[in-house]
């Protein structure tokens, strides 16, 4: 069909509702071939609406033809919808339906694109826009403009005011969903602590609410007197990866925010969890907890050791641990306190505190003891707001190393878990002015300010991130901008007296949500022996290991035989008429109840005990007697190969030779040969010197 003269490109079909707006062809990005028939239908429709009378007739004619022609591509359900709805006069509804037929990932190049899509989706999801400004119609609206996101209500007029600064992406995979384990975005959780007794006494009321597991509402308006922050902090609604109300227990906080990161560390990745918030908001409670109510640090360590135990068969694991604090811009070792430490940048490990001790820990209890020791060394002082206020930022680092031999190569992995309890931001009035406390407060605020600058720079995608502005940000460089999975737990107080601090914390938490870390990589090394020398060394190691294992097997077998000999001797003495059967079946009846119990307890234990018994053979019972006993055994070697092995008779303990197998005239029948082989194993290999028969026989002859 010839294209009508006023026909427009597909992009213009979308644009015609808002004349004069520039749209980019990236709207079409991701368009799959499957939606092409729908698009052509749409194009035809738009043509139909703008044609002259004659043209419209021609158009209708061609449409009839196209409907009747079975060979032409049939319209899908979605395109049928589009056809029926195309008659509507509401352009936004038309556009909404058009978008519904699109693949979900759409690149928007301009502010107008974003505004239009948001408007369309606003119509689509109605009130959902109000309740979830970040997730619009199933997409997360990801941009650098944030303040409008936090509004309690978002109408079309508000949407129209949106001024995104950069190219926007609507990416359905970036929804704020906890436990999804995305590795490239900082996960942010908010925890509200219960209102304290002190706050209740002074008549404080609750000013914040958590809802639906993810949402936080401020139930008060911003303070009109706070001119500096008023503009920035007018948001009253926030959505995070998780929102914990006052009654959430420690276990739940750990499971939601940190458990998956512990798992990642075991896979050789780096993970960090940090608590952020104003003084007295509950950071230390969340991170460390109490003896009765252990926090994230303790639960993570316990979980880590439990998981290591489960994986013990997979390879060798070792755990090292260091604990440091940043106090008044100096770095101190909490496990072996001494002089201040210097931070150095290491190519492989990133920023490290030179001289920081790393303790090797073998069990959760050992780690707990170290943690307790470190906490005793941590600087805490009472302030007006918190009786046990942490005056320093504390960082616990746990390194988990794994190594295993896979074939000839050695695989090793190292994962690092950093658990960080930040000191609380505070106003000078909250602490004691003009004292050491206020100096500490100033330093704490300085480092937290540096942290906020880094967050801002990271969110805005700046090239230079001012990590060097404070010791804290230097140490957090990995967690914020490196190859690391990071979770932030923002702690807030519900009291209206801390409303400003709560708003501030929520503002920074909301920003931190947009930080993208580098994709988390596994720190794995595979050593494959390359040179002949390395291969030879490896071969020697394997041979050595093999030899040791053979020795162990031989010793255990020897003990077993010694025990069995003794049981036969006892039978000779006490139970002469007990019929001898194969060694394994004679073991149990010959033992008394006590011995039997020991055998069931542990093989090794029972073998050692039996060895003892061997040397308790009654006086006068010579080894010759034992030998005779074996010779007098009613069984032939073929019936009881074990006895054959032990007998001193040449006939019975004759070595099995090549001839025995091949020669049809062999005195042994084939089945007997097979039995003998499995028990005597006298094939002449050098390792057979270690075999039990050899040693056992010698012992009895002595
Ligand atoms: N979720 C909670 N449940 C019960 N009590 C809590 C909770 N969170 C905090 N608290 C209590 O609130 C008080 C202050 O908490 P915490 O010391 O953890 O605050 P903080 O943010 O670490 O303060 P700072 O920055 O001054 O060290 C403590 O007495 C603590 O027991």
Rounded mean pLDDT, 189-204: 91
Closest-lying ligand 1 atom to the alpha carbon of residue 386: 26
**Ligand 1 lining (C-beta closer than 6 Å):** 193-194, 196, 277, 279-285, 386, 388-390, 423-424, 491
Rounded mean pLDDT, 168-193: 58
Q: What share of the chain is helix, strand, coil (3-state, %, to 5)?
A: 45, 20, 35
Nearest one of 634, 572, 502 to 235, comparing CA atoms: 502
Other Cβ atoms less than 10 A from the Cβ of 218: the count is 23
411 C-alpha vs ligand 1 centroid, how far in Å? 43
How does residue 16 score in pLDDT terms, banded at 50, 70 and 90? very low
pLDDT at 237 over 80: yes
Looking at residue 164, its pLDDT comes to 35
Rounded distance between C-alpha atoms, residue 342 and residue 182, angstroms: 34
Rounded distance between C-alpha atoms, residue 625 and residue 578, angstroms: 17
Judge whether 604 and 598 are in contact, CB under 8 Å: no
Residue 200 CB contacts under 8 Å (≥ 6 apart), including other chains:
none
Cα–Cα separations (whole angstroms), residue 157 to 17, 122, 136, 161: 17, 11, 16, 7
For 506-554, the pLDDT digits (tens) are 988 988 888 877 766 777 777 776 677 777 787 888 888 899 999 999 9
For 438-472, the pLDDT digits (tens) are 666 677 777 888 888 888 888 888 888 888 888 88
Q: Taking each helix axis from N to C terminus, what angle separates 593-601 and 603-614, rounded to the nearest 10 degrees?
A: 140
Name the residue with tokens 């099995």: 656
State the Cα angle at 166 between 163 and 170, rounded to 5°: 90
- State which of 189, 193, 420 you would mutate to test the pocket of ligand 1, scoring each by most atoms of that ligand within 8 A of its C-beta: 193
458 C-alpha vs ligand 1 centroid, how far in Å? 29
Rounded distance between C-alpha atoms, residue 421 and residue 273, angstroms: 9
Q: Taking each helix axis from N to C terminus, what angle separates 532-574 and 623-631, rounded to the nearest 10 degrees?
A: 90
Rounded mean pLDDT, 51-69: 53
Rounded distance between C-alpha atoms, residue 356 and residue 528, angstroms: 32
For 476-513, the pLDDT digits (tens) are 888 787 788 889 999 999 998 888 888 888 988 988 88
Please name the residue whose Cα sits nearest to atom 14 of ligand 1. 280
Complete edge-to-edge strand list for the sheet that includes strand 168-170: 106-108, 168-170, 139-142, 135-136
Rounded distance between C-alpha atoms, residue 464 and residue 245, angstroms: 37
Dihedral pair phi/psi, residue 71, rounded to 5°: -70, -20
196 C-alpha vs ligand 1 centroid, how far in Å? 9
- CA-based end-to-end distance of the chain: 110
Indicate the annotated binding residues for ATP: 277-284
Looking at residue 404, its pLDDT comes to 83
Closest-lying ligand 1 atom to the alpha carbon of residue 388: 17
pLDDT at 86 over 70: no
Rounded distance between C-alpha atoms, residue 15 and residue 419, angstroms: 51
Domain locations along the chain: 10-170, 176-526, 533-701
289 C-alpha vs ligand 1 centroid, how far in Å? 9
Rounded distance between C-alpha atoms, residue 163 and residue 200, angstroms: 42
Looking at residue 384, its pLDDT comes to 62
Rounded distance between C-alpha atoms, residue 597 and residue 589, angstroms: 12
Interface confidence, given as ipTM, is 0.98
* CA atoms within 13 Å, Cβ hemisphere of 12: 10
Looking at residue 520, its pLDDT comes to 67
Name the residue with tokens 């950069």: 166
285 C-alpha vs ligand 1 centroid, how far in Å? 5
Strand segments, DSSP code E, in 84-214 are: 106-108, 135-136, 139-142, 168-170, 187-192, 208-211
Q: Taking each helix axis from N to C terminus, what angle separates 532-574 and 603-614, rounded to the nearest 10 degrees?
A: 60
Judge whether 214 and 178 are in contact, CB under 8 Å: yes
DSSP state of 525: E
Rounded distance between C-alpha atoms, residue 590 and residue 660, angstroms: 35
Across all residues in the chain, what is the average pLDDT? Answer: 64
Put residue 620 in one of left, alpha, beta given phi > 0 → left and psi -120 to 50 → alpha: left
Indicate the annotated binding residues: 277-284
Global model pTM greater than 0.80: no
For 129-177, the pLDDT digits (tens) are 333 333 322 233 333 333 333 333 333 334 334 333 332 222 333 444 4
Question: Which class does domain 176-526 fall in?
Answer: alpha beta
Please name the residue whose Cα sits nearest to atom 1 of ligand 1. 193
């Amino acid at each position: 069909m010839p294209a009508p003269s006023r026909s427009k490109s597909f992009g213009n079909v979308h644009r015609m509702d808002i004349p004069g707006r520039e749209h980019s062809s990236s709207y079409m990005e991701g368009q799959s071939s499957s939606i092409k028939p729908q698009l052509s239908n749409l194009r035809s429709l738009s043509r139909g609406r703008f044609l002259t009378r004659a043209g419209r007739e021609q158009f209708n004619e061609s449409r009839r033809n196209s409907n009747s022609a079975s060979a032409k591509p049939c319209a899908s359900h979605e395109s049928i919808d589009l056809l029926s709805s195309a008659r509507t006069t509401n352009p936004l509804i038309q556009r909404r339906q058009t978008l519904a037929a699109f693949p979900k990932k759409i690149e928007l190049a301009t502010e107008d694109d974003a505004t239009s899509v948001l408007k369309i989706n606003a119509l689509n999801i109605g009130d959902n826009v109000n309740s979830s400004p970040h997730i619009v119609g199933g997409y997360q609206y990801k941009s650098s403009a944030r303040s409008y996101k936090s509004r309690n209500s978002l109408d079309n007029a508000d949407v129209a005011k949106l001024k995104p600064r950069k190219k926007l992406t609507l990416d359905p995979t970036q929804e704020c969903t906890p436990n999804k384990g995305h590795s490239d975005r900082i996960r942010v959780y908010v925890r509200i602590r219960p209102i304290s007794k002190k706050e209740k006494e002074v008549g404080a009321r609750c000013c914040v609410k958590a809802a639906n597991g993810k949402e936080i509402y401020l139930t008060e308006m911003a303070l009109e007197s706070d001119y500096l922050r008023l503009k920035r902090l007018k948001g009253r609604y926030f959505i995070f990866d998780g929102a914990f109300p006052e009654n959430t227990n420690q276990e739940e906080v750990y499971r939601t925010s940190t458990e998956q990161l512990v798992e990642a560390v075991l896979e050789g990745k780096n993970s960090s969890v940090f608590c952020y918030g104003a003084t007295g908001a509950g950071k230390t409670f969340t991170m460390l907890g109490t003896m009765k109510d252990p926090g994230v640090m303790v639960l993570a360590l316990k979980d880590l050791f439990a998981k290591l135990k489960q994986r013990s068969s997979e390879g060798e694991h070792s755990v090292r641990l260091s604990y440091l604090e940043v106090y008044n811009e100096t770095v101190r070792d909490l496990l072996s306190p001494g002089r201040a430490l210097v931070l150095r940048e290491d190519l492989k490990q990133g920023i490290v505190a030179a001289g920081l001790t790393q303790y090797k820990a073998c069990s959760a209890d050992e780690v707990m003891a170290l943690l307790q020791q470190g906490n005793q060394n941590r600087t805490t002082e009472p302030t007006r707001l918190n009786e046990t206020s942490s005056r320093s930022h504390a960082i616990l680092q746990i390194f988990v190393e794994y190594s295993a031999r896979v074939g000839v190569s050695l695989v090793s992995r190292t994962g690092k878990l950093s658990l960080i309890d930040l000191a609380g931001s505070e106003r000078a009035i909250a602490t004691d002015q003009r004292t050491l406390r206020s100096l500490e407060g100033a330093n704490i605020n300085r480092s937290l300010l540096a942290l906020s600058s880094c967050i801002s720079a990271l969110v805005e995608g700046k090239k230079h991130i001012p990590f060097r502005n404070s010791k804290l940000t230097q140490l957090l460089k990995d967690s914020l901008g490196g190859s690391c999975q990071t979770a932030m737990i923002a702690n807030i107080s519900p009291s209206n007296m801390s409303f400003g601090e709560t708003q501030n914390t929520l503002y920074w938490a909301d920003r931190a949500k947009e930080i993208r870390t580098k994709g988390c990589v596994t720190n794995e090394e595979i050593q494959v022996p390359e040179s002949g020398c390395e291969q030879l060394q490896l071969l020697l190691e394997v041979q050595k290991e093999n030899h040791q294992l053979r020795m162990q097997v031989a010793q255990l077998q020897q003990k077993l035989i010694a025990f069995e000999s003794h049981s036969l001797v006892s039978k000779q003495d006490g139970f002469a008429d007990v019929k001898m059967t194969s060694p394994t079946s004679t073991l149990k009846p010959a033992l008394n109840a006590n011995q039997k119990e020991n055998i069931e307890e542990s093989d090794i234990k029972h073998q050692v005990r039996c060895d003892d018994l061997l040397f308790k053979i009654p006086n006068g019972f010579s080894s010759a007697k034992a030998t005779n006993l074996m010779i007098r055994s009613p069984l032939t070697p073929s019936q009881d190969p074990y006895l054959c092995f032990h007998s001193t008779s040449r006939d019975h303990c004759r070595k099995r030779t090549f001839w025995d197998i091949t020669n049809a005239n062999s005195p042994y029948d084939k089945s007997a040969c097979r039995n003998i082989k499995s028990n005597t194993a006298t094939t002449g290999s050098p390792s057979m010197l270690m075999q039990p028969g050899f040693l056992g026989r010698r012992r009895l002859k002595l």
